[in-house]
Amino acid sequence: MLKSILIRILPFVVTALLCALGISLGNWQTRRAEEKEILAQLMQEQMQKPALNFTKDMLATDLKVFQRLKLRGQFVSNWPLYLDNRPLHGTVGFYVLMPFKLEDSDVSILVARGWFQRNPVERTKMPELVTEQGIIELEGLVRDHLDRTMQLGQNEALKAGAIVQGLSLDDLRKQSGLKMIDRVLEQTSDANDGLVRDWPKPSAGSDKHRAYAFQWYGLALMAAIFFVVTGIRRGKRRQ
C-alpha cells in the first residue's frame, strides 16, 4: 500500500522540484539580463553629459558610475599592476592598472589604462610599458569597481608590477601607502602608449542571460508536459 502511494507521489514531487528549479533559475537569469540593460541605459545617459573636471576637494560619493571624468595629475609609474584573464575579441590579455595622483593633491585614483595581449610563449613576460611623465590630462569613465571574473587560486601578496586576478583597493592602499578614493577610472582618452581601450559594455551578455533563462523555463515546461503526458498514458493503461 505504502509502496503504491510512493510510486504515485514520487513523479509529482520530482516534477514539482524540476519546475521550481527551472523557474527559479530562469527568473535569476532574467534579472541578470535586466541589470545589465539598466547599466547600459545608465551609461548612455551619463556619457551624453559633459565631462566633469575632478578636483582634489571632491569625494568618491560625488562621482556617479559611468560619469565622464576629466582630471589632471601624473601616473604613479612605479606601481603598475596587471589584471589577468581579460580576453578581448577572443584573445587573452591583461588590463594595465596604475594609480593616478591628482595635481596639487595627495589623493590618487586607480586608472585602468588599457589592454594588451598576453605573450603566447611566456605568460609573465610583459611588454615595455610606455607612461607619460609629469603632469598630464586624461579622461575616462567612472566605475565603482573592476569587472570581476572567476579567480583561479589566491593572489600573491600585492606588490608593484604584480599580476593579479582580482584587486582590492584596501590592499592597494595598504601596500602602496597611497591615499586612494573608492572609484576606478576606465581611461578613454588616447595616449599613444600602444594599449587598447575597447572596454566591455555593461549590456554585453544580456542576450546570453535571456537565452539561458529561456532554456531554464523550457526545462520547467518540458517537465510539466512530461508529467501530464505520462499521467494520461498511465490512466489509459489502467482503464
C-alpha–C-alpha distance, residues 138 and 185, integer Å: 10
- 128-175 pLDDT, tens digit each: 888 988 899 999 999 887 765 544 445 567 888 899 988 888 899 999
C-alpha–C-alpha distance, residues 123 and 115, integer Å: 15
C-alpha–C-alpha distance, residues 230 and 239, integer Å: 14
Residue 172: DSSP 8-state: H
Is residue 140 within 8 Å of 75, Cβ to Cβ?
no
Tally Cβ neighbours within 10 Å of residue 59.
Answer: 10
**Going along 158-208, which residue ranges are E strands?**
163-164, 179-187
- 73-106 pLDDT, tens digit each: 999 999 999 999 888 888 889 999 999 999 988 8
Beta-bridge mates of residue 139: 70
Q: Which of 28, 50, 32, 52 is nearest to 40 (CA)?
A: 32
C-alpha–C-alpha distance, residues 126 and 13, integer Å: 56
For residue 6, pLDDT beyond 70: no
∠ CA(220), CA(221), CA(224), 5° rounding? 90
Tell me the pTM: 0.70
64: Cβ contacts below 8 Å, ≥ 6 apart: 46, 142
Is residue 64 within 8 Å of 50, Cβ to Cβ?
no
* Mean pLDDT for the stretch of residues 182-210: 84
| Residue 5 parent element (H or E) | helix 2-47
| Residue 13 parent element (H or E) | helix 2-47
- 12-60 pLDDT, tens digit each: 777 788 888 888 888 888 888 888 777 777 777 767 778 888 877 777 7
Q: Which three cell numbers stand for residue 233?
A: 498514458
Is residue 139 within 8 Å of 70, Cβ to Cβ?
yes
C-alpha–C-alpha distance, residues 112 and 82, integer Å: 10
C-alpha–C-alpha distance, residues 106 and 178, integer Å: 8
Q: Which of 151, 172, 75 is nearest to 114 (CA)?
A: 75
Is residue 26 within 8 Å of 217, Cβ to Cβ?
yes
- How far is Cα of residue 209 from the mean position of the Cα atoms in its chain? 14
